[in-house]
Structure 1
Amino acid sequence: MKDAADRLAAVTANIAEAAKRAQRKAGDITLIAVSKTQDAAAIRPLIAAGQRQFGENRVQEAAAKWPALRAEADGITLHLIGQLQSNKAEEAVELFDAIHSVDRPSLVQALAKASDKAGKRPQLFVQVNIGDEEQKGGCAVADLPALLAEAKEAGLEIAGLMAIPPADIEPAPYFALLDELAERNGLPLRSMGMSGDYETAVMLGATHVRVGTALFGARE
C-alpha cells in the first residue's frame, strides 16, 4: 500500500513541477493510471491511495475486472487507450467513460450507433498516427480533418487528440505537433505522454497523461 501511495505522490509531484515550469495549473492535467495486465490486487492499493482515473487496452480484460472494482470504490473513471475493433464498440461504450483510440470512419459509425443505443456518450479522442508508423493504429495526420468532419456528422463530439510518439526518439517534436493539430482543429484535450516522457508532454500541452510503470512498478 505504501509503495503505491509513494509512487502516486511522486508522479503527481512531477506533474505539478512540469506544469509550474510551463506556467500551467497542475489541476488541468488528468493522470490516467494504465492498469492493463494488472490484476485487481495490484490496482486496489492505488485506488486506496486516491487514484480514480484508470486506462485499459482491451475491452474483455476491463470487463473481467472493473465491474467488481467499481463496486468497491466511488468515482472511478475508465479510459480505453488501446485499439478498438468496431464490433466491440457497443461493449466499449457501456464500460468506458472515455475512448482514446477513435481512428477510422468505420469506428466512428459503430460508436455513433452504440452511443445512441446505450443513451451514453463517452468522451472521445481521435488517435493520430503522429510518427506515420505502419505498425501503429491512428489516423494519418492528413486524414484528420475528414475524420473529425465525419464524427461531427455522425453526432459524435470529439474532445481531443491522442498520440503515441515513435519509440526511442525524442518525443518533444511529436507532442508539439499533436498540440498544434488540436489547436488548429479547436479541440481542448491532448492525451499524450507515458511513464518515460509524461513531464515533457505536460510542458508541451498534455491534458491527459497515461502512466503505467511509474505507478505500478516494473513488470515482472
Structure 2
Amino acid sequence: MKAAEGTPAHLAEIRARITQAAQDCDRSVVDITLVCVSKTFPAADIIPVLEAGERVFAENKVQEAMEKWPELKRLYPDVELHLIGPLQTNKAREAVEFFDVIETVDRPKIAAALAKEIARCGRHPKLYVQVNTGAEPQKAGVLPQEADAFIASCRKDHGLEISGLMCIPPFNEQASPHFALLSEIAKRNNIATLSMGMSADFELAIQQGATHVRVGTAIFGKR
C-alpha cells in the first residue's frame, strides 16, 4: 500500500470545493456527502482523515477492507463504510456483514445472493444499483436501458430496498451527460441517492444532483 502525502491540506481543499460547487447551483452542502475512497492506502493514512472528522469511506475489495478496517471501526465506531468495487457472489456474506453501503448491485445473481445473506444475518446495508451509463463492455453495471426493469426486479422478486444509484462515466467522455442520465433513471424509480463524481469531476456531479461524491486521489494522493 502506498503512503499518502499532504492529506489534511488536500482534504480541506476538497471540502471547500464541495461547498463552492453546492453554492454555485443553489444546493445545501449538508445534502452532499463526501465519500473518502481509501482503497490501497494503509490505516496510517486513513487516521488523519478520520481525525479531521470524516466518517464516510469506501473500499474496492472486500478482503482488503476486512484486513484494515476492523481496528479503525473499533476506534471510530461511527464510520460508514461503502463497497464500491465489483462484488462476487461468493463474497456476498462478508459484504453484508461488514459494509454499511454496497454500491455495486448490478445483476440478478448478486441481487439474489444479497437477499439471501440479508435474510440470514438480519443486517440491512444500504444498496445502490450500479449503472454502466457508457455501456462499456469491460465495466460492471446494468445497462441504462435495462436499469428500470432490474431495479423493479430487485424490489419485487428479491425484496431488496434500493436506496441509491451509482455510476462511473467513461474516462474519455464528458461526464455531465452520464450524470444527467443517472439522475433521470433515479427520478423515474423514486430513488433519492446518487453516488456519482470522483476527484476529476465531482463539481459537475454536484451540479447534476449528486448526493454522494467519491473522492480518493484528490485527498490521499496518487495510487
With structure 2 as the length reference, what TM-score do the two structures score?
A: 0.95
Q: Counterpart of 1:215?
A: 219
Work out the number of aligned pairs and report it.
219
The whole-number CA distance in structure 2 between the counterparts of 1:7 and 1:75 is: 23
Shifted more, 179-188 versus 1-10: the winner is: 1-10
Local SS of the residue matching 2:194: strand
Q: Counterpart of 1:8?
A: 11
Does the aligned pair in 1 maintain the 2:39–2:59 contact within 8 Å? yes
Q: Counterpart of 1:140?
A: 143
Residue ranges of structure 2 left out of the alignment (5+ in a row): none
Identity of aligned residues (%): 51
Deviation at 1:168, TM superposition (A): 2.3
Match of 1:112 among 115, 138, 144: 115
The whole-number CA distance in structure 1 between the counterparts of 2:207 and 2:125 is: 27
Q: CA RMSD in A?
A: 1.3
Match of 1:28 among 13, 31, 34: 31
1:210 aligned partner, one-letter code: R
Q: Counterpart of 1:157?
A: 161
Shift of the 2–163 alpha-carbon distance from structure 1 to 2, 3 Å rule, reads closer
Q: Counterpart of 2:45?
A: 42
Local SS of the residue matching 1:31: strand
Does the aligned pair in 2 maintain the 1:4–1:49 contact within 8 Å? no
Question: 1:173-208: CA deviations, max 9, x gaps?
Answer: 111111111111110011000000011101110001
1:14 aligned partner, one-letter code: R
Does the aligned pair in 1 maintain the 2:5–2:221 contact within 8 Å? no
Does the aligned pair in 1 maintain the 2:197–2:203 contact within 8 Å? yes
Does the aligned pair in 1 maintain the 2:57–2:80 contact within 8 Å? yes
Deviation at 1:74, TM superposition (A): 2.8
The whole-number CA distance in structure 2 between the counterparts of 1:75 and 1:203 is: 29
Match of 1:127 among 117, 121, 130: 130
1:131 aligned partner, one-letter code: G
Does the aligned pair in 2 maintain the 1:161–1:178 contact within 8 Å? yes
Deviation at 1:4, TM superposition (A): 2.5
Deviation at 1:147, TM superposition (A): 1.1
The whole-number CA distance in structure 2 between the counterparts of 1:2 and 1:58 is: 23
Q: Counterpart of 2:103?
A: 100
Residue ranges of structure 1 left out of the alignment (5+ in a row): none
Does the aligned pair in 2 maintain the 1:85–1:107 contact within 8 Å? yes
Q: Which runs of 4+ in 1 moved over 4 A?
A: none
- The answer to whether the aligner puts 1:166 opposite 2:149 as a matched pair is no
Local SS of the residue matching 2:149: helix
The whole-number CA distance in structure 1 between the counterparts of 2:145 and 2:131 is: 10
Q: Counterpart of 1:206?
A: 210
Deviation at 1:94, TM superposition (A): 0.5
